[in-house]
Structure 1
């Protein structure tokens, strides 16, 4: 199996730990104690606490921008200390390490993992494993050992049944496409579960009406600056999903909604309002 090893290797980190406490720094210390030559890249440590779906979305939005062979350590782990497994994965020429709770589901979408193992070999853990901090004691050292060239087969037995995240999927209902908000960023932009490419295929060039929780979104545009300040709009976000935004404002505040909010696209022949289409 080709590994695409990097020299020096890269380990990215994504967690819900925040930066107030020492958790992130300690994980980095563990990694550097095993491989002082590794390059560490923070994706984010502001995943909403315990929000596996948000962590999965953010990881999906970031991992592919790193070179093959990069190792992605992701820890959003509300089940820490339970019987949930910890995983190391080689998929799409990248490595992933973290809890088996669906955090990597969007990486596997459309492609089976090349290799998945359950982390069960104590020689690759810290000598004392806490029941509350597997990110430090199991996952960080595992990522470090992978960066040194340790094969996945040495880390534990193979498995074929990783936990799949039960994310909502868009659905068709007559002449409407129904979706929902799955993530809100710090700008108040609301990201839906509707891939923009799928929206374009469905509409076949026809104008559409858009609503969020019944509130009209009057403009479907290509860039934010196409509408006046304070105006609600929809566009294709950098992540490839349909995004609801407010020019120089917060769509989340304007619409009083967040993850779980209902997004409805309706073909123009069924509605009176016809937003501009990019």
Structure 2
């Protein structure tokens, strides 16, 4: 059974996500549809890229991923279908795929060219669904598009590295539902530049000299529970995607606050690692 995933900024209030699913089932009754997220911030390409980068490889090879972010067709925002790491991605050529393509070269990229056969002002519903169902039936990318060699890049995805000063200058690329702040500094980059040296991570009001592997690593479980200092415990860690993340232990943005609110961090704010 083919699998088609959906990642969009449609939200849960409107009809858009439901309409897309209905259109898929109309074309292919025997298909599995999985929602990755419909809560991407409107038109937030980097946020969508981070989410799809960290979700797609949990699915089996051959899965088809529809990404409905900033998908209106215009001369500067064409539509593409990409075969990468054994998965298919259908989206606008606006940089969303570039986070994946930084680490894994696409096997094939086509610019979708079936628009003259479809009248639409809702391309995710009318174009992306057609392409996804074509692929799910075993169709090739060449039938629905012309081959291209490159895709647009998202600016600011990679941190700046100053070897002479022993610095990595990164930025906030994502803030999750818990208010955790994810930077664009990967563990591989950190280890390559740092080479085991002492360091200090600085982000506005917060600083760290240790990076953990788990949230609970910051808690001393040898101390009785009633005597532990847990509330508001700040943590830097390598998250499950091996990005540098700044967090508050068991944070709740609606009550006790979060790393984003307590450290005063927002999307694209600077996070610096300075090595001794």
- TM-score range for the pair, normalised by the shorter chain length: 0.7 to 0.9
- Following TM superposition, by how much is the alpha carbon of 1:218 offset from its aligned partner in structure 2, in angstroms? 5.5
Change (3 A) 1:221 1:112: closer
Match of 1:229 in 2: 231
Q: Does 1:54 align with 2:47?
A: yes
The answer to whether the 8 A contact 2:180-2:259 is kept is yes
Equivalent-residue separation in structure 2 for 1:204 and 1:158 (angstroms): 41
Q: Which residue of 1 aligns with 2:179?
A: 188
Q: 1:44-94 CA deviation, whole Å, 9 max, x = no partner?
A: 1111101111111111111111111111110101x6142221111112111
1:204 corresponds to which residue?
A: 195
Could you tell me how far 1:193 is from its partner in structure 2?
Answer: 0.4
1:45 equivalent to 2:38? Answer yes
Higher mean displacement: 200-209 or 186-195: 200-209
Aligned to 1:156: 145
After superposition, the CA RMSD in angstroms is 1.7
DSSP 3-state at the match of 1:198: helix
Shift of 1:202: 2.4
TM-score (norm 2): 0.87
How big is the shift at 1:121?
A: 2.2
Q: What is the aligned partner in structure 2 of residue 272 from structure 1?
A: none
TM-aligned CA deviation for residue 129 of structure 1: 1.5
Aligned twin of 1:276:
none
TM value normalised by structure 1? 0.86
Q: Does structure 1 conserve the Cα–Cα contact (< 8 Å) formed by 2:166 and 2:194?
A: no
Q: Which residue in the other structure is 1:275 paired with?
A: none
Distance 1:223 1:20 in 2: 35
Gaps of 5+ in 1: 1-7, 270-278
The CA deviation string for residues 213-259 of structure 1, in whole angstroms up to 9 with x for no partner, is 25323642222122322111100011110000011121001112121
Alpha-carbon separation, structure 1, partners of 2:214 and 2:234: 12
Shift in Å, 1:210: 1.3
Q: Distance in 2 between matches of 1:30 and 1:96?
A: 18
1:179 partnered with 2:179: no
**Residues paired across the two proteins, number:** 256
Question: SS state of the match for residue 163, structure 1?
Answer: coil
- Check whether the contact 1:219–1:232 (CA below 8 A) recurs between aligned residues: no
Which residue pairs with 1:139 in the alignment? 128
Structure 2 runs not aligned, ≥5 long: 220-229, 252-257
What is the CA-CA distance between 1:168 and the residue it aligns to?
A: 4.0
CA contact (8 A) 2:62 2:86 kept: yes
Structure 1, 153-162 or 17-26: larger mean CA deviation: 153-162
Question: Partners in 2 of 1:142 and 1:230 — Cα distance?
Answer: 48
- Tell me the equivalent position of 1:258: 266
